[in-house]
Chains A and B, each alone.
Chain A
Amino acid sequence: MPLAESLSLDLAMARVGFGRYAAYPIASAAGIFTNVVFGLMRGSILLALFAQRERIGAYDASATLTYVWLTQGLLNVVAMWGWQDLAIRVRTGDIATDLIRPIHPLRAALAADYGRAAYQLLVRAVPPILVGIVIFRTSLPPSPVAWLAFAVSLTLAIAVSLGFRFVYNVAAFWTTDHRGAMILALVVMSVFSGFTIPIQFFPPWLAAIASATPFPSMIQTPVDVWIGALSGSSLVGALVAQLAWAAALLGLSYGLFARGTRRLVIQGG
């Protein structure tokens, strides 16, 4: 397939992903409201730590507030609450029709997910981040380079997140219970991504475990880039780690999916 044609297909998938969510404006408003209320609560709790300490790792009170409002915005962008579209298609057998399309299901899912993420970024992420900036004086990335680095980091974070989600969805080829797998995945993701609490707050041994996983690449890295906790070589290192995790998880997804479909073909679903 020529490149231009193939890219326009990606774009079409992205537009579908975007449109699916844009169809429910009231649901989005309700979701924003909930994200903001949780932001208020999380901010209060984490600030209480700084009544006793000046800073924890790279985080002072102000950086922590920025972290709270940024994560409240980004949690939908990186689909913190999970995604089971693929698993459901596997369970129902609809996946068979995806296989005869001119675009590989993984690529289609990635394109659609960027569409979804674009919508979530514009509609769900901006309001909580603005609440943080206007009411709590949270900070913006300090320089144009930091802005650029944040954009790159978030783009990679979405790919890492999708790669991970694709892997636990593919489990549906082998188990009748993808929901159980998904719940376990979400627990691990929620803690080790740095969404529940910044990884810098972890005791060293736990932080070391977290750092060895792809999860910080989904939330903690873009947030650290935004608040300027990463710069110079540490910034480059973090972005390279994200890229590596994205490649590894998407590669794993590709391989598992191929094995899963072969199994499907042999056993006839």
Chain B
Amino acid sequence: MGDVRDLPELYVRLVAARIRAQLQYRASFAMETFGTLLVSFIDFVAILVIFANVPQLGSWSMPEVALLYGISGLAFAITDLILGHLDDFPRLVRDGNFDLLLVRPRGTLFQILTGDFQLRRLGKATGGLIVLAYAFSQLNVAWDPGRVIVLVLAIPAATAIFASVWIATICVAFWAVEGREASNAFSYGGQFLAQFPINIYDTWLRRFLAYLFPVAFVAYFPALYILAKPDPLGLPDWLRFMSPLVAALALVVAGRVWAIGVRHYQSAGG
């Protein structure tokens, strides 16, 4: 694996170089940032419309769902900022440019993440933040140190879960480049799922998407704790603290899947 101590510094250096290049085109940069901000609100419009028809959704009130949306929206925006350009990586495989990453003394994933960082994706994070602020303004949360810690850990944990799902599923491109859209079902799909209380989903959809791709740990369990809400599913309380652990596990699994993908590329020749 080699020495990794200088990776954070190198990350900053490479990403800063990308940002410098992008700021050369300020006008289009501003427009696209605004566009991605609006995109992040589309699903929230659906939530507003739903609550115009019903007072509750699966025993969750509108501000409570807004909390789910805020946590998952913010975390997904951060994920998208860090590795949204992973969606372009199948093109590297198809064109053979993935080879170039293999002859440098750094990890392939690291090089991809620093390769085409897009600052305009920051717009999305703003949307999540606004909804999160709205949720807390409507909810009477009995803040205590425990709740603050759970919330503060929930965002990076959710980001790590989204990132893991994204990395692990985009690996389909190592075997079938044209099949990359299938990963959207889990990356973007996972975010879509996490915006709503998971108790409204069919049992098997919940088992598959919420636990196997651990989307339930993104917002649902941390939100239950912050709201001191009884779990409509009646699951054990300790699950509410498991998000960081599940996230760490997910990252390890994703790293393994990526390594297997690279091994396959190396034997099949892309």
Contact = CB atoms under 8 A, between A and B. Distances in A.
Q: Do chains A and B touch in the complex (CB under 8 A)?
A: yes
Interface of A: 24, 26-27, 29-31, 33-34, 37-38, 40-41, 44-45, 47-49, 51-53, 56, 176-177, 179-181, 183-184, 186-187, 190-191, 196-197, 201-203, 206
B111 interface: no
Interface in B169-191: 172, 176, 178-182, 184-186, 189
Interface in B1-35: 27-28, 31-32, 34-35
Given A41-B192, A179-B35, A180-B34, 10 more contacts: A27-B181, A38-B192, A45-B201, A49-B57, A52-B56, A177-B27, A180-B35, A191-B45, A196-B43, A201-B53
Contacts of A179: 28, 31-32, 35
A203 B53 CA distance: 8
Interface string B40-58: 0111011001101111111
Nearest to A202: B49
Given A191-B42, A201-B53, A176 B176 contact: no
Contact of B35 (A31, A53, A184, A203): A184
Contacts of B178: 24, 26-27, 30
A29 B50 contact: no
* Nearest 5 A/B pairs, CB to CB: A180-B31, A183-B35, A177-B28, A37-B185, A30-B182
Contact of A27 (B49, B179, B192): B179
B239 interface: no
Contacts of B53: 49, 53, 56, 201
Interface residues of B, number: 42
A4 to B, nearest CB: 38
B95 to A, nearest CB: 16
A44 B205 contact: yes
B200 interface: yes
B206 to A, nearest CB: 9
B196 interface: yes
A51 B46 CA distance: 18
Nearest to B123: A183
A52 B58 CA distance: 9
Given A41-B192, A48-B200, A196-B42, A180 B32 contact: yes
B249 interface: no
Nearest to B182: A30
Contact of A176 (B28, B46, B55, B180): B28
B181 A34 contact: yes
B195 to A, nearest CB: 9
Contacts of A48: 57-58, 200
B39 interface: yes
Nearest to B32: A180
Given A45-B196, A196-B45, A38 B185 contact: yes
Contact of B32 (A183, A191, A197): A183
B193 interface: yes
B192 to A, nearest CB: 6
Nearest to B38: A187
A29 B192 contact: no
A173 B43 CA distance: 32
A44 B193 CA distance: 10
B144 interface: no
B65 to A, nearest CB: 10
Contacts of B38: 183-184, 187
A44 B202 contact: yes
B42 A53 contact: no
A201 B52 contact: yes
